[in-house]
């Protein structure tokens, strides 16, 4: 009876996860989708607790309670600007869990294999499952253990480096050791050889050596990816963590974990591919740590950055009829989304057409800008994707760029040697006037200079985005 209830709970949780993924495809349904995911995870957790073998209730309560308290404390402290690095950190936990569980399974399998048939009889819990496996199943389990450790270790160190780059604790530039991709390839080939040795010997040493190699691969892969590609890296690591979870599911014989891991792994891979396409990046190049990237002398930028004050921006907005706002990570850093929303309402109240242009990789996490604007109550129907609005810039009076660099950089179209060459960008420079809200004259997170800032129709609105907009607001004519 209990087994049937647990199976039903797992099926219900899997359905809720699928509904959650489906709902996240639209802004209107995203909030409901999040609740589906939370309900599914809660149901899965309850099923896992009551389905646990051995009756170690005290350990379960302590571990779950401790984890819940830590998670709650972290969630209370994390700002929206820190969500990308938080996601990367959570991915690392999944990878580390896969490594630990796989090693534990190896040790338990070795312990059971050392017992005679009489001693194996009546073993409770997981070891009994191991005792019942035949030779073929044990070979399959060895592959599960090996793959689980490999994917988990790559995910762990890769996610740690991604966290460091997103948090500014590690240099965002692409860096590789001498030997570059040859080192990654050699480590991968040696891991395959160690799999064969592990099959033959079943010992701990080949598994441990492979773990060290996989940890290096994860580290070196993500170190070799520059800041401009970090949004893709986050979604790619999301995929890795899903496959790591699926590997854990196979090892533990947990069908729900297999299904959930496959959902996360496949959806993360699809999202990574979509984002690579949006950035005109090779999917294989990105997942291999920037393999095949070209470099050369950049085109010389002429002109100078011309500053403007809030009165000048307000005068242009008062005269404009059509306005497009392009948000970027700088808006998130300044927590200016509410000021942007207030300015939007003020402008629309005067009869002006105000819309938002969202690039697929704006911010450092897929959907980052959409979440911030929704949080500030910006209407969904005026928030448009790049493909929907790019042709309208030429007929737009004023564009306000708030903390964006690469996604509005004309070098993507004009400089074949630019690190973002060929990347589809928002063609804001075609508008009559462009105002860029920026803290200073730096090149931003990716370190790429932007010729837009030197154009004749561009003016630099320097300062903290939120304070600048709050200063601008009273000068905009209201009804």
Q: What are the structure tokens assigned to 254, written together? A: 């947990």
Spatial contact of 406 and 445, defined as CB atoms under 8 Å apart: no
| Residue 406 known to be catalytic | yes
CA atoms of 239 and 421, how far apart (whole Å): 26
Per-residue pLDDT reduced to its tens digit, 198-232: 888 878 899 999 999 999 999 988 888 776 677 77
Spatial contact of 470 and 448, defined as CB atoms under 8 Å apart: no
CA atoms of 73 and 378, how far apart (whole Å): 29
**pLDDT value of residue 128:** 45
**pLDDT value of residue 461:** 93
**pLDDT value of residue 127:** 47
Alpha-carbon torsion, ordered 403, 476, 470, 85, to 10 deg: -30
**pLDDT value of residue 108:** 79
pLDDT at 14 over 60: yes
The residue to which tokens 């109550």 are assigned: 377
**pLDDT value of residue 126:** 47
**pLDDT value of residue 267:** 85
Q: At what angle do helices 135-166 and 181-201 cross, to 10 degrees?
A: 150
- Taking alpha carbons only, the member of 430, 398, 397, 396 closest to residue 413 is 430
Q: What is the CA radius of gyration of the chain?
A: 26
pLDDT at 121 over 60: no
pLDDT at 62 over 80: yes
Mean pLDDT of 10-28: 82
Catalytic residue, candidates 342, 387, 406, 415 = 406
How sure is the predictor about 60, in pLDDT bands with cuts at 50, 70 and 90? confident
**pLDDT value of residue 382:** 94
How sure is the predictor about 74, in pLDDT bands with cuts at 50, 70 and 90? confident
Per-residue pLDDT reduced to its tens digit, 301-346: 767 889 999 999 999 999 999 999 999 888 888 889 999 999 999 9
How confident is the prediction for the chain on average, in pLDDT?
82
**pLDDT value of residue 445:** 59
**pLDDT value of residue 358:** 92
- Taking alpha carbons only, the member of 437, 450, 432, 466 closest to residue 307 is 437
Total residues found in the chain within this entry: 479
Q: What are the structure tokens assigned to 46, written together? A: 């309850």
Q: What are the structure tokens assigned to 371, written together? A: 């979440």
The mean-pLDDT minimum among 122-136, 394-408, 459-473 falls in 122-136
Domain residue spans of the chain: 1-77, 82-287, 310-475
pLDDT at 115 over 80: no
Distances in whole angstroms, Cα of residue 160 to Cα of each of 73, 87, 380:
20, 11, 34
CA atoms of 75 and 83, how far apart (whole Å): 10
pLDDT at 125 over 50: no
- Greater model confidence, 406 or 118: 406
377: phi > 0 → left, psi -120 to 50 → alpha, else beta; which?
A: left
How sure is the predictor about 111, in pLDDT bands with cuts at 50, 70 and 90? confident
Mean pLDDT of 409-426: 83
CA atoms of 391 and 413, how far apart (whole Å): 15
- Greater model confidence, 396 or 80: 396
Query: Taking the model in full, what pTM does it have?
Result: 0.75
Spatial contact of 155 and 93, defined as CB atoms under 8 Å apart: no
pLDDT at 291 over 80: no
Distances in whole angstroms, Cα of residue 361 to Cα of each of 24, 371, 375:
17, 13, 19
Spatial contact of 466 and 307, defined as CB atoms under 8 Å apart: no
**pLDDT value of residue 67:** 85
The mean-pLDDT minimum among 286-300, 400-414, 445-459, 461-475 falls in 286-300
pLDDT at 266 over 80: yes
| H/E run at residue 302 | none
Residue 358, beta-bridge partner list: 385
82 by Cβ neighbours in 10 Å (0-12 / 13-18 / 19+) ranks as middle
Q: Which residues of 345-388 form beta strands (DSSP E)?
A: 353-358, 383-385
How sure is the predictor about 405, in pLDDT bands with cuts at 50, 70 and 90? confident
Q: What is the DSSP string of 328-351?
A: -HHHHHHT-HHHHHHHHHHHHHTT
Distances in whole angstroms, Cα of residue 340 to Cα of each of 129, 308, 335:
58, 18, 10
CATH architecture of 310-475: 3-Layer(aba) Sandwich (3.40)
How sure is the predictor about 347, in pLDDT bands with cuts at 50, 70 and 90? very high
Q: What are the structure tokens assigned to 211, written together? A: 């773990």
Query: Both ends of the chain: CA-CA distance in Å?
Result: 68
């Amino acid at each position: 009876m209990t087994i049937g209830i647990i199976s039903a709970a797992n099926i219900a949780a899997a359905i809720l996860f699928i509904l959650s993924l489906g709902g996240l495809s639209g802004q209107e349904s995203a909030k409901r989708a999040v609740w589906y995911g939370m309900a599914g995870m809660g149901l899965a957790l309850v099923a896992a607790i009551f389905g646990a073998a051995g009756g170690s209730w005290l350990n379960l309560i302590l571990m779950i309670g401790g984890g819940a308290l830590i998670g709650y404390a972290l969630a209370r402290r994390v700002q929206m600007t820190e969500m990308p690095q938080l996601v990367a950190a959570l991915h690392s936990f999944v990878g580390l869990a896969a490594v630990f569980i796989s090693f534990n399974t190896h040790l338990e399998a070795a312990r059971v294999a050392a017992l005679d048939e009489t001693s194996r009889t009546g073993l409770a819990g997981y070891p009994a499952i191991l005792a019942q496996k035949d030779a073929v199943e044990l070979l399959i389990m060895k592959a599960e253990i090996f793959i689980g450790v490999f994917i988990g270790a790559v995910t762990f160190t890769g996610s740690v480096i991604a966290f460091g780059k997103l948090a500014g604790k590690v240099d965002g530039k692409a860096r590789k050791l001498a030997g570059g991709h040859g080192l990654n390839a050699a480590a991968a080939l040696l891991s395959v050889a160690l799999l064969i040795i592990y099959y033959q010997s079943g010992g701990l040493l080949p598994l441990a050596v492979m773990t060290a190699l996989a940890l290096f691969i994860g580290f070196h892969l993500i170190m070799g990816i520059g800041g401009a590609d970090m949004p893709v890296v986050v979604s790619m690591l999301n995929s890795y963590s899903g496959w790591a979870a699926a590997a854990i599911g196979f090892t533990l014989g947990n069908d729900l974990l297999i299904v959930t891991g496959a959902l996360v792994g496949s959806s993360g891979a699809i999202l990574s591919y979509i984002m690579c396409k949006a950035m005109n990046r090779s999917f294989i190049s990105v997942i291999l740590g920037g393999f095949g990237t070209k470099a050369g002398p950049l085109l010389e930028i002429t002109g100078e950055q011309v500053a403007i004050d809030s009165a000048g921006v307000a005068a242009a907005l008062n005269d404009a009829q059509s306005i497009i706002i392009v948000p970027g990570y700088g808006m998130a850093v300044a927590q200016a989304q509410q000021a942007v929303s207030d300015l939007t309402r003020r402008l629309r109240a005067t009869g002006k057409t105000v819309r938002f242009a969202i690039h697929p990789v704006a911010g450092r996490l897929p959907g980052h800008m959409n979440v911030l604007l929704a949080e500030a109550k910006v209407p969904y129907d005026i928030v448009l994707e790049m493909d929907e609005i790019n042709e309208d810039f030429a007929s737009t009076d004023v564009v306000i760029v708030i903390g964006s660099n690469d996604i509005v950089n004309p070098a993507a179209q004009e400089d074949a040697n630019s690190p973002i060459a060929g990347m589809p960008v928002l063609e804001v420079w075609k508008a009559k006037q462009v105002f860029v809200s920026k803290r200073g004259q730096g090149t931003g997170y990716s370190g790429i200079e932007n010729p837009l800032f030197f154009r004749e129709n561009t003016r630099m609105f320097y300062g903290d985005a939120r304070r600048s907009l709050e200063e601008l607001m009273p000068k905009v004519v209201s009804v």
